[in-house]
Structure 1
Amino acid sequence: MDENTDRIGWLRERRAGIGGTDAAVLMGTHVGKVTPRDVYNDKIATDDPAELNLPMFRFGHMLEPRLLAEAEAHHGIKVRPGGLFRNKAESWRYANPDALTSDGGILECKTTGTTTKHYAAWKAGDISPHAYDQTQHYLAVTGRAHARFVVGVNPKGWQKRPESEWVDSVTEIFHVGPIPRDEARIAEILEAERDFWACVEARALSTRWAPREVEARIPEMVEDDLVRLAVIKEQQTKLKADREAIEKRLRGAIGDEGGFLTLWGKPRVSLTAYDAETFDKAGLIEAHPDIAERFIGTAPRTRLSVVDA
């Protein structure tokens, strides 16, 4: 299937099964905020799928032909477009690798920024957990032996440039791989996918995929807390804006040279210069990616969000 002939049809095809990005979500390695419930809701939806026309997606699509050519030259192999593949026995498992390689592998094109936590890993020849699970899923579906990656680095300030200059602005490209099939990980991925797809076909998520729901014991108290929380957040926003406006007026009254603002002959506000300590995270990653990789990681956290009724 040609991805460019019918974009909505292509998105419908992706909805009718589990792909590489879905696999990463199910395995808990996806880099975004998508949850298994989000994937489930998309699979059972009946309306036309919506496409996100984000700049970073357009950038990656425009850069892909150049990355494929770079990979051919770097590895000395032939590369051809991937297309859509489905498993014969379980047609709901599909893969759409960016390209296939003449040495029996697949090739994935990626982009990254110098300030992202994965930049150092790509530069050092490693791949993100998301990319690993995505491509292991692809290898499982296609039966191919290994995966390679070609990564274009988004230059600083690329979104401010005209789109016609995006591709030529890329000066840093990484080549990673080959990464062989990981049969143990593939088995884990397939087990999770089969369990999840059974839920999709049954139109009911199991407790493995659905977040725990706890009914409020005192609904009136929770409702009151939610109302108060909304009011407090609104007040905080206004107070912050008021504080910034007042401080701006006071700074303006003193002037850029600094000093004291007096009131009834007495100093009441001072404006002094000092050197603040800063940390250039992007600079550290670029200059010492191996060191940065050792100290930049993730830690378990919880996020409290209010769901709109």
Structure 2
Amino acid sequence: MIRVDVVPDTPEWEAERRHSIGASEVAAAVGESSYDGTPLSVYLDKIGAGRNAFDPILSLIGHGEEPIIAEWVARYHPEVGEVGPGFMARHEDYPWLHASFDRVVRDPSGRMVPLQLKTSTVFVRHKWNLGVPVDYLIQEEIECLVMGAPYALLAVHHTGTTEFELYKLPAHPERQAQLAQVTRRLWDCIEKRTPPPPTLGDDLARLYPASEGKQVTADDDTLDTLEFLRETAAQRNEVVREYKAMEADAKFQLEQFMQDATEILDPYTGRTVHTWKPTKNGDRRHYTPKGEKP
């Protein structure tokens, strides 16, 4: 493990990240991300053609939560060991891989292991229902690989609640070797400036910026695809029109029933199952509380 002396979220840190693939990027790099990342998006970011996804406000919030989560681990799970500051490091044998450790822990046997600190919101809480999301499982495999640790710890705070969770994630050497091989192939693409094959969802406009006035002649397969696109777009628009009409009819019936009332209550539980608010143009914005069904 080779330590890199940089401060997170600084220009120096960003420059170091360009020189290798980070643990948090590996799920996207190998095509297993449950979010929006793909091998092509990682490639574009590394060559400086990617969309700037860094949000300083989100970074501020995330880093602001880290001391709270770390303190929760130290206070309520002292059995894991002593929590210490994190750092950035690169793998000695796989220099195309690096990790930025949020914190590290010295366990009772003296081993140093990564401690990753995560937050989730109500919008992504469901991704944790079956355990740690795959992106973070892969991230911790790489953090263990870079550090040479037998396991990693991951603590998450589900913000808006007092719910914290702590996971112990063992390293899997065979899986780590596979990830190292796949990321090596992507890094070869990056070094040679040869983009990997795009996948569905990739922003091809970043890969192929417009050339003003350039034309291309369609082949038969492309003509078939164009016709299919026109037909599906027409069908989609027709379905949308039908559902909008049904939605408007349902709202009209509700407004007739409610008259000047602003809430509908469940007759058995007394809970609000539907409400509306006036809009600036005088219409009503209907709203059904999440999880409530009449």
TM over 0.5: yes
Residue aligned with 1:174, SS: strand
Offset of residue 16 of structure 1: 2.6
Offset of residue 66 of structure 1: 0.6
Q: Equivalent residue for 1:2?
A: 7
Letter in 2 for 1:119: W
Q: Equivalent residue for 1:105?
A: 113
Q: Go from structure 1 to structure 2 and tell me whether the alpha carbon gap of 1:53 and 1:3 turns closer, same or farther (over 3 Å shift).
A: closer
Q: Go from structure 1 to structure 2 and tell me whether the alpha carbon gap of 1:62 and 1:16 turns closer, same or farther (over 3 Å shift).
A: same
Contact persistence 2:22–2:100 (CA under 8 A) = yes
Query: Using the alignment, how far apart are the partners of 2:126 and 2:253 within structure 1?
Result: 39
Contact persistence 1:216–1:222 (CA under 8 A) = no
1:185 to 168, 171, 175: 175
Aligned pairs for 1:1-309 (under 5 A) are 1-4=6-9, 6=10, 8-46=11-49, 49-52=52-55, 59-76=61-78, 77-103=81-107, 104-112=112-120, 116-122=125-131, 127-155=132-160, 170-177=161-168, 179-205=169-195, 210-211=198-199, 217-253=220-256, 255-256=257-258
Query: Using the alignment, how far apart are the partners of 1:140 and 1:228 within structure 2?
Result: 50
Query: Using the alignment, how far apart are the partners of 2:143 and 2:84 within structure 1?
Result: 16
Give the CA RMSD over aligned residues.
3.6
Residue aligned with 1:91, SS: coil
Query: Using the alignment, how far apart are the partners of 1:227 and 1:24 within structure 2?
Result: 35
Residue aligned with 1:100, SS: strand
* Structure 2 unaligned residues grouped into runs of 5+: 1-5, 201-217, 260-265, 269-289
* Structure 1 unaligned residues grouped into runs of 5+: 156-169, 258-272, 276-280, 283-309
Q: How many residues align?
A: 238
Q: Go from structure 1 to structure 2 and tell me whether the alpha carbon gap of 1:180 and 1:245 turns closer, same or farther (over 3 Å shift).
A: closer
Contact persistence 2:30–2:39 (CA under 8 A) = no
Q: Equivalent residue for 1:265?
A: none
Q: Equivalent residue for 2:287?
A: none
Letter in 1 for 2:39: P
Contact persistence 2:41–2:50 (CA under 8 A) = no
Query: Using the alignment, how far apart are the partners of 1:180 and 1:242 within structure 2?
Result: 54
Offset of residue 140 of structure 1: 1.5
Contact persistence 2:114–2:149 (CA under 8 A) = yes
Residue aligned with 1:25, SS: helix
Q: Say which is worse superposed, 133-142 or 57-66, in terms of deviation.
A: 57-66
Task: State the identity as a percent.
Answer: 23
Kindly indicate which of the two structures has a greater share of residues assigned to strand: 2
Contact persistence 2:113–2:147 (CA under 8 A) = no
Query: Using the alignment, how far apart are the partners of 1:274 and 1:198 within structure 2?
Result: 64
Query: Using the alignment, how far apart are the partners of 2:49 and 2:222 within structure 1?
Result: 33
